[in-house]
Chain A
Amino acid sequence: MLLLKSRLHDLRIVAYYLGKICIVVGIAMLIPLTLALFLSEFSVVYDFVIGFSVSLIIGYTLLFLYRTEEDLNWMQGMVTVAVSWLIAAFLGAIPLYLSGHFACFLDAFFEAISGFTTTGLSLTQDLDHLSYGHNLWRHLTQFLGGQGIVVFAISFFFSGASGVFRLYVGEARDERVLPNVINTARFIWRVSLSFFLLGSLMLFAVGIIIGLSPGQSLFDAVTLFMAAFDTGGFAPHSQSILYYHSLPYSMALVFLMVLGALNFKLHYELWHNNRGELFRNTEIRTFLSSVFFLFFFMAISLTAGGVYSSANGLMYAGFFQIISAHTGTGFQTISSLQFPVWGDFPLGILIIAMGLGGGLCSTTGGVKMLRVSIIAKALSQDINRMLLPGSTILVKKIHHIKDLVLNERMIRVSLIITFCYILMYIVGALAGAGLGYPLELAFFESTSAAANVGLSVGITSPEMPGLLKLIYIIQMWTGRLEFIAVFILFGFLVAFIKGK
Chain B
Amino acid sequence: MINYIKSFFPALLIILFLSSAVKAAPTVSVRELYANSKTLDGQEVVFEGEVIGEVIQRSEGCWINVHDGTEAIGVLIRPQDAGLIEFTGSYTCRGDIVRVNAVFNRACDTHTGSMDLHAKDLERIKAGRKIEHFVSPKKKNAAVVVLLAALITGFLALYRKNE
Contact = CB atoms under 8 A, between A and B. Distances in A.
Given A50-B146, A309-B107, A335-B71, A128 B153 contact: no
Contacts of A61: 153, 157
13 contacts: A54-B150, A60-B157, A98-B139, A129-B94, A237-B52, A239-B65, A244-B56, A245-B112, A310-B109, A312-B113, A317-B114, A335-B115, A338-B34
A211 B56 contact: yes
Interface stretch (A38-46, A155-163, A447-455, A490-498): A38-46
B157 to A, nearest CB: 4
A83 interface: no
Interface in A34-65: 41-43, 46-47, 49-50, 52-54, 56-57, 60-61, 63-64
A212 interface: yes
A334 B114 contact: yes
Given A50-B139, A60-B150, 17 more contacts: A41-B133, A47-B139, A49-B147, A50-B146, A56-B150, A56-B154, A63-B161, A132-B91, A210-B56, A216-B54, A243-B72, A250-B112, A313-B107, A313-B109, A313-B114, A333-B114, A337-B71
B130 interface: no
A69 B150 CA distance: 23
Residue picked from A50, A52, A311, A333, most chain B C-beta under 10 Å: A50
B140 A46 contact: yes
Contacts of B139: 43, 46-47, 50, 98
A307 interface: yes
B142 interface: yes
B113 A308 contact: yes
A129 B90 contact: yes
Nearest to B52: A128
A313 B31 contact: no
B157 A64 contact: yes
A67 interface: yes
- Interface residues of A: mostly helix, strand, loop or mixed? helix
A57 B150 contact: yes
B149 interface: yes
B32 to A, nearest CB: 10
A180 interface: no
B101 interface: no
Interface string B127-156: 000010111000110110011011001101
B47 interface: no
B129 to A, nearest CB: 12
A202 interface: no
Interface string A227-261: 00000000001110011111100100000000000
B115 A50 contact: no
Interface residues of B, number: 48
B53 interface: yes
A341 interface: yes
A309 B106 CA distance: 11
B19 to A, nearest CB: 34
Contacts of A216: 53-54
B67 interface: yes
Contacts of A338: 34, 115
A218 interface: no
Contact of B153 (A43, A64, A312): A64
A477 interface: no
A64 B72 contact: no
B85 interface: no
Contacts of A67: 160-161
Nearest to A237: B53
B114 A46 contact: no
Given A246-B112, A317-B113, A52 B150 contact: yes
A63 B134 CA distance: 36
A314 B57 CA distance: 25
B58 interface: yes
B79 to A, nearest CB: 11
Contacts of B89: 128-129
B37 A341 contact: yes
B30 interface: yes
B66 to A, nearest CB: 10
A315 B111 CA distance: 12
Contacts of B57: 211
A63 B131 CA distance: 42
